[in-house]
Amino acid sequence: MPSSELIGTWVAAGLTLFCFSFLYKDNPFYKFAEHLYVGISAGYWVSMEYHNVFRPNLWDPLMRLDLNILFSFPRAGFAFMWQSLILIIPFAFGILFFTRFTKNFAWLSRWSMALIIGIFAGIAIIGYSTGDLILQIRANLLPLWTGNWLSSLNNILLTIGVLTSLIYFFFSKEHKGALGAGAKVGIWFLMISFGASFGYTVMSRMSLLIGRIYFIFGEWLGLIK
């Protein structure tokens, strides 16, 4: 194995053992691995944002701004200048974020934060509505009888689960009588779905654990061929 790969393997194995040391108790080795992971992730995210967002979408267009175009071709130059100068607005809002480091002007960052939250909230509403809500409604419009008893049973259970789950979250009327019975059935469907989601999460974490154990006993110690 080349020396660079050997050093990388030892570093990765050491950090893995540092993380596993938390199973005993909280200790400086685990804190070191935790802080290193968070720091590298933050640095990588900043680097990706700089090279993939800030440079191509803001900085480079502003640096390509040429005032001679405005005087040579007034109409086309004005359109080009307007498209470039309008980028100063998001640049200014980005600068306002750094006012958080000052005590007297920290309130200015609220303008940038409010703008980002409002824009992303609007985009998220549209995205979730078209990508999740409408598709889920369309996916639940199923025939109760398909000619196959197994698929028909599946569609019936799906329809009952959707209706009873919606009844459980209907709080305008007290859950008594038929409404209360439907709400109790909805609780069962919700608990089953939450349990399945939790089980899937546990299995995904187990796959990560198996991968780390295989790395330690395979690539590092060489006990697994």
pLDDT of amino acid 80? 58
Q: Inform me whether the pLDDT recorded for 189 exceeds 70.
A: yes
Cα–Cα distance, 132 to 120 (Å, whole number) = 17
pLDDT tens across 88-98, in order? 888 889 899 99
Please state, rounded to an integer, the average pLDDT across all residues of the chain. 87
pLDDT of amino acid 5? 86
Selection from 122, 121, 155, 126 nearest residue 140 by Cα: 155
Token output for 20? 């596993």
Distance between start and end Cα atoms, the chain: 15
Cβ atoms of 186 and 210 within 8 Å: the answer is no
Give the count of beta carbons closer than 10 Å to the beta carbon of residue 167: 19
Q: Inform me whether the pLDDT recorded for 192 exceeds 90.
A: yes
| More confident site: 84 or 212 | 212
pLDDT tens across 43-80, in order? 999 999 999 989 998 888 877 766 565 555 555 555 55
| More confident site: 65 or 134 | 134
Overall average pLDDT of the 26-45 stretch: 95
Is this model's pTM higher than 0.95 or not?
Answer: no
